[in-house]
Amino acid sequence: MVTGVSRLLGARLAASLAADPRVDRVIGVDVVDPPASLVDLLDGVARVRVDSDSFGSAIAGADAVVHLALVTAPDPRRGGRAAMKEQNVIGTMQLLAACQREPRLRKLVVRSSTAAYGASFSDPAVFTEDDAPREVPRGGFARDILDIEGYVRGFRRRRPDVTVTVLRFAPVIGATIDTTLTRYFAQPVVPTVFGRDPRVQFIHVDDALEILRRAVTEDHEGTYNVAGPGVLLLSQAIRRAGRIPIPVAEPGFSAAIGLTTSLGIGRYTRDQLDLFVHGRVVDISRLVEEFGFTPRSTAEAFDDFLARHGGGMVRAERIAAAEQAILEAIRQVRAAREGT
Amino acid sequence: MSDQSVPGDHPHHSALSAAPDEPDEWDRRVAAALAFLRRRLTGQYEVDAFGFDVDLTEHVVHPLLRLLYRQWFRTEVFGVEHLPAQGAGLVVANHSGTIALDALVLATVLHDHHPERRHLRLLAADLVFRLPVISEFARKIGGTLACQPDAERLLRAGELVGVFPEGFKGVGKHYTQRYQLQRFGRGGFVTAALRTGVPIIPVAIVGAEEIYPMLADIKPLARLLGLPYFPVTPTFPWLGPLGAIPLPSKWLIEFCPPISTAGLADQADDPIVVLDLADQVRETIQQTLHRLLERRPDPFAP
């Protein structure tokens, strides 16, 4: 059973599992119907639409559950933050309660996030799976993630016979995926926090899928960071995208988030503000060792995203051409002066 | 008329075609500067997991600090041969000067004098990472938070790591206490070296004490601003921005023989071993400071 199949990652995982001869039957669960673009993908998947507080109702007889149905940012059209928390926290509680009662269950894979490490000024530069957040995070999503991981720990204690894999994903990026963060980089002028240039990491959507697939078809008990090796600075990523960074003072940024959120037109969340101030880099050596798989680097994943969403105002070729033109002009001026 | 335009054109062409053949220092510099600008504008440079931007450090930060330590502070450097040619090492120095300019100079001096042009990865207090702009700068020049996980990660990666165990007690001390080493705290740096088995290289820096001699500390103002101290120097805050110009003291930097920690990994949690080793490092630096001071009786000597 896979939850969250009405979005790209869930739909692709469900489709890939349905095509796997080792898997008999795939049940795809979500709170909304999939968009038209994903319906074809879900051909071989038995789809069930549920309310966010009854994920567990579709579980009967499942021997593996993959929980991907998390909301990363409040959607004002679908109930905002309250609905987001309802689905993330209550939805997960419900699902875990049903899992606990399901005797055939052997495996549980839960999508988490590197937001689990919170954001504080006394954080180490690179997080390992054993690090705990030093402060309660400001962002709703990060707090939900902490709650969810808490419930999963409880589940592990009560069902030690089930293999539980928690995957802490860095932001997922790729040519085909549409998230708040990909929309952020697609704007012509990109706001950043003044005086901060955080380190960010991405995971390519195809690699995220491959790791989820391996987590389901193989046995990998434990918690793993999932991110592309290497880092980009936020300013560097914006430059590579050919966009123009506009630094905004943090109090102003924070106030703007509060205002736009209360007006229901929120584009950014405090989760993102934390990311834009602190950045977040994780150590993936445990993942590489256990899964025998190295995702493509953060820079490569970002390049692939740019291949589709590129075409910013500042093109690398134009800058290279300008560089050559200026160099030639200086040479000519100097040569002319030497000549006279 | 037409005759006049020919000689004007001729050298112009010959100079252009000659430019790629002859080594032309000026041309090379212009091309390098433009290439640097292009890399910055298109984001085509690499940073490591800590945010260290080698491109920016080598092309912007080092040239400025080089000017400062060579021309302004007339720095003399001794004992570079005590630094490991490759592999990890923990460089431990005294800290002074009201603002941590000594750390930046030490990193540049080490890079310039080391035969392998190695970078010193500085560990800084968390206040540095709370402040906007400064936090960004600290990471870009290879710094990171002074904490066990970061120190050990850098040392395991074979880096040279720079620490100032005195912390704010060192930079924020009164001018009358100059060249008196402050407490070394809990010796966290020793623990990191023991766990990773890397040598400790003590360093004595003479000269940074006189750049902004701190005559008083306005404690209420410091508390108000959330700073560890608020300095009053002969020029600050009286002269406003001019107070930011460091006095041109004479600097001497000496790297001391390394102290090996190999095979002591199992004693990294033994407070007696840790504090003894920290004391040994402290004594070495203090004695080297006294020795260097005898060689430099006048702080503003040429």
CA B110 to chain centre: 8
Report the C-alpha gap between A62 and B268 in whole angstroms.
49
How far is Cα A210 from Cα A296, in angstroms, rounded to an integer?
A: 11
- Alpha-carbon gap: B81 to the closest alpha carbon of chain A (Å): 31
Characterise A34 by phi-psi region: left (phi > 0), alpha (psi -120 to 50), beta (else): beta
Strands annotated E in chain B: 76-78, 89-93, 120-124, 144-145, 160-163, 200-206, 216-217, 231-232, 252-255
- Percent share of chain A, pLDDT over 90: 55
**Residue A319: closest CA among chain B residues belongs to which residue?**
B38
Do the beta carbons of residue A336 and residue A269 sit within 8 Å? Answer: no
- From the list B120, B200, B203, B208, the residue with the least C-alpha distance to B170 is B208
B274: alpha, beta or left? (left if phi > 0; alpha if psi -120 to 50): alpha
pLDDT-derived band at A231, boundaries 50, 70, 90: very high
Averaged pLDDT score across all residues of chain A: 90
CB atoms within 10 A of CB A302: 26
CB contact under 8 A, B129 and A125: no
Considering only CB atoms, A239 lies closest to which of B15, B43, B130, namely B43
Query: Which residue shows structure tokens 């041109």?
Result: B248
**Paired tokens of A121:** 């000024």
Phi, psi of B136 (to 5 degrees): -65, -45
Chain B residues lying within 8 Å of A326, measured CB to CB: 34
* pLDDT of B161 over the 90 cut: yes
- CA distances, B245 to each of B3, B96, B101, B178, B233 (Å): 57, 16, 12, 19, 11
User: A46 has which bridge partners?
Assistant: A27
B16 → closest Cβ in A125, A279, A335: A335
Q: B208 and B98 in contact (C-beta within 8 Å)? A: no
- B106-129 burial code (b ≥16 CB/10 A, e <16): bbbbbbbbbeeebbbbbbbbeebb
* Partners of residue A172 on adjacent β-strands: A203
Q: What is the DSSP string of B207-243?
A: SGGGTS---EE-HHHHHHHT-S--EE-SSTTTTGGGG
Cβ contact (<8 Å) for B51 and A230?
no
Largest CA distance in chain A: 93
Residue of A230, A233, A339 lying closest to B12 (CB–CB): A339
Read off the pLDDT band of B79 (50, 70, 90): very high
**Average confidence score pLDDT of chain B:** 90
Residue A334 and residue B27: Cβ atoms within 8 Å? yes
* B11 reaches A (C-beta below 8 A): yes
Instruction: Report helix, strand and coil shares of chain A as percent, to nearest 5.
Output: 50, 15, 35
SS3 B148: helix
Q: Return the percentage of chain B with pLDDT > 70, whole number.
A: 92
Q: Using DSSP, how many helices (H) and how many strands (E) does chain A show?
A: 13, 13
Task: Supply the pLDDT for residue A333.
Answer: 87
pTM of this prediction? 0.89
Closest residue of B to A123, CA-based?
Answer: B145
Amino acid at B237: P
- Total Cβ atoms within 10 A of residue A157: 7
- Range with the poorest average pLDDT among A103-107, B16-20, B265-269: B16-20
Q: Is B226 on the interface with A (CB under 8 A)?
A: no
Which pLDDT value is given to residue B5?
40
Interface of A with B (CB under 8 A): 121-126, 128, 131, 193-197, 199, 230-233, 235-240, 242, 250, 279, 281, 314, 316, 319-320, 323, 326-327, 330-332, 334-336, 338-340
CA–CA distance, A293 with A214 (Å, rounded to integer): 10
Asked whether the beta carbons of residue B43 and residue A123 sit closer than 8 angstroms, the reply is no
CB of B24 within 8 Å of a chain A CB? The answer is no
Note which residues in 31-70 of chain B have CB less than 8 A from chain A.
Answer: 31, 34-35, 37-38, 40-45, 47-51, 53
| Residue (of B144, B156, B117, B151) closest to B52 by Cα position | B144
Summarize the confidence of residues A103-130 as an average pLDDT.
94
pLDDT at residue A110 above 90? yes
Other CB atoms within a 10 A radius of the CB of residue B97 amount to 25
CB-CB contact of A202 with A170 (8 Å): yes
The SS3 of residue A226 is: strand
pLDDT tens string B271-288: 999 999 999 999 999 999
What letter would DSSP give residue B259?
A: B
**Count of pairs with CB atoms under 8 A, one residue in A, one in B:** 117
pLDDT at residue B22, rounded to an integer: 57
User: Residues for chain B: how many in total?
Assistant: 302
**Chain B residues near residue A126 by CB distance under 8 angstroms:** 49-50, 149-150, 153
| Mean per-residue pLDDT, B83-94 | 96
Which tens digits make up the pLDDT trace of B118-156?
Answer: 999 999 998 999 999 999 999 999 999 999 999 999 999
Contact A250, B136 (CB under 8 A): no
The answer, yes or no, to whether residue B33 has pLDDT greater than 80, is: yes
User: Quick one: which of B71, B141, B128, B136 has its CA closest to B100?
Assistant: B128
Burial of A23 (0-12, 13-18, 19+ CB in 10 A): middle
Strand partners, A191: A246
Q: Which residues have a Cβ under 8 Å from the Cβ of B54 and sit 6 or more positions away?
A: B45, B46, B47, B119, B142
Helix, strand and coil percent figures for chain B, each rounded to 5: 50, 10, 40
Q: Which residue carries 């979500």 as its tokens?
A: A30
Structure tokens at B37: 């600008």
A240 and B48 within 8 Å at the Cβ level: the answer is: no
Hey, is A248 helix, strand or coil?
strand
Residue B189 has pLDDT above 50, yes or no: yes
Q: For residues A333 and A210, which has the higher predicted lDDT (pLDDT)?
A: A210
Q: How confident is the model at residue A265 (pLDDT cuts 50, 70, 90)?
A: low
The shortest C-alpha distance from B267 to chain A (Å) reads 23
CB contact under 8 A, A195 and B145: no
